[in-house]
């Protein structure tokens, strides 16, 4: 039996998705396969007209969606999750093509997105009112229409982490996916309609952030913006939202440290440290960027880490054996190249890798890069590296390790490896980061809040806190019969 090509036109939605139907426009954006630099789809992009249509649709749907019981919303979201799983292979193929993500990683992302929606549908029922015997009730109500702006690196799982809580809270969502990776989001929106989620509850607008995204952020009827992306763009969105005092949830850049103490069982964790450094070709907000290693084990750790990194398999995302695919687009590729050149110009010693060629001859492939002896003048903690690079830094004592870990404008995540629990607790209390892993690395849990300190963002996603972020508190004062106060 012939396998269906995921890019067959009849199997794709390439228009904006507004009120349960595909809307075509007269403007286009070419979606590229970053592994081959070939156009795989031409997507219709939104103008002010389509943004207004989506907002009107969301407002109409909100009036009814907010009145559904939490149990009914939960039932529909669970059906949506089930359809994502039923269509997992097709979704995975599209994700792999548009992101450049290895196919095994793409499958994992689809499952993770569906599992999170299942979690959200269960946890969201627990949002409750607070009753007082003093004559008042505190309730939570949905914020309203939410603008959801998602990144290219994890388009489907990020959509789930934002749209699931919004819907469970009773809000409606207008999704603006990254212009390079809209296809999986459009497919997910269609599957939501197939699951019984009413038209207008989820709309999708395609196009560049400078156009469609800015129009969505500026629309006065949109009450909340949830954005995952760079700190630079997050600041712009924050400023735009201030004009209307809009609620914001910003999950921004990272430059995450891993501290490896002299007593750490680092050999046991080396595989997971390497994976967390280079996963998704380094296009990952809470990946390890700076590895801070005690000087007594610095040379041995560095040698083994470089060896592990050298053996990572870079190649075609369609291959089951590939571990690292290409970078997603030319802008990311060129920025990564500039960053590598800058570190070399400041005197950093490249232990592994090479400077990406100025003009890529094929796809946007780059080899993993490992640096050491990088001077402080390079200020490596003050920018996000969205590509496969690691910096190995020695330290002498616990205080120096803390100072190095916190020498950054970011504070998304950190990793600690030591057998001394007192040291682990002290470092954990003093590292400025929203999530810290001690002697383990795994995906951030659904039932734990996730977000950053400093310039890594505002607010928290996941867990009950992430659902409540899409609600407003309202206090009701009652005077009951027989109450003479």
Q: Please identify every residue annotated as catalytic.
A: 251, 285
Task: Dig out the tokens for 136 from the structure.
Answer: 């008042």
- 71 CB contacts (<8 Å, ≥6 apart)? 125
């Amino acid at each position: 039996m012939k396998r269906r090509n995921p890019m067959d036109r009849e199997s794709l939605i390439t228009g904006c998705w507004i009120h349960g139907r595909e809307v075509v426009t007269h403007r286009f954006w070419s979606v590229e396969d970053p592994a081959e630099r070939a156009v795989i789809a031409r997507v219709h992009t939104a103008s002010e007209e389509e943004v207004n249509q989506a907002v009107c649709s969301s407002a109409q749907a909100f009036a009814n969606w907010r009145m559904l019981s939490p149990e009914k919303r939960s039932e529909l979201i669970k059906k949506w999750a089930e359809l994502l799983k039923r269509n997992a292979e097709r979704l995975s193929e599209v994700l792999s093509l548009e992101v450049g993500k290895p196919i095994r990683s793409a499958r994992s992302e689809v499952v993770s997105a569906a599992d999170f929606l299942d979690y959200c549908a269960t946890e969201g029922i627990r949002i409750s009112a607070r009753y007082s015997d003093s004559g008042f009730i505190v309730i939570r109500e949905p914020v309203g229409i939410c603008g959801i702006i998602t990144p290219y690196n994890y388009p489907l799982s990020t959509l789930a982490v934002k749209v699931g809580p919004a819907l469970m809270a009773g809000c409606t969502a207008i999704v603006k996916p990254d212009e390079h990776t809209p296809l999986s989001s459009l497919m997910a929106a269609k599957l939501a309609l197939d699951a019984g989620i009413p038209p207008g509850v989820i709309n999708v607008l395609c196009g560049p952030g400078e156009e469609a995204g800015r129009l969505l952020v500026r629309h006065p009827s949109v009450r909340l913006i949830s954005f995952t992306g760079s700190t630079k763009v997050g600041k712009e969105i924050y400023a735009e939202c201030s004009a209307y005092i809009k609620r914001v949830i910003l999950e921004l850049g990272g430059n995450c440290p891993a501290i490896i103490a002299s007593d750490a069982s680092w050999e046991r964790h080396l595989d997971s440290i390497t994976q967390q450094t280079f996963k998704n070709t380094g296009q990952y907000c809470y990946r390890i960027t700076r590895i801070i290693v005690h000087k007594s084990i610095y040379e041995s750790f560095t040698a083994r880490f470089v060896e592990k990194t050298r053996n990572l398999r870079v190649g075609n995302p369609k291959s089951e054996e590939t571990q690292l695919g290409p970078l997603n687009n030319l802008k990311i590729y060129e920025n990564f190249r500039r960053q590598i050149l800058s570190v070399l110009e400041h005197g950093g010693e490249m232990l592994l890798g090479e400077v990406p060629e100025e003009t890529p001859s094929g796809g946007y492939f780059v080899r993993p890069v490992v640096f050491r002896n990088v001077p402080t003048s390079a200020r490596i903690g003050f920018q996000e590296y969205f590509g496969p690079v690691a910096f190995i830094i020695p330290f002498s004592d616990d205080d120096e390790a803390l100072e190095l870990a916190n020498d950054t404008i970011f504070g998304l995540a950190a990793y600690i490896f030591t057998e001394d629990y007192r040291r682990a607790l002290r470092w954990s209390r003093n590292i400025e980061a929203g999530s810290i892993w001690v002697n383990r690395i795994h995906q951030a849990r659904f039932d734990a809040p996730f977000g950053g300190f400093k310039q890594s963002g505002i607010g928290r996603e996941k867990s009950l806190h992430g659902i409540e972020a899409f609600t407003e508190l309202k206090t009701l004062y009652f005077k009951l019969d027989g109450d003479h106060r």
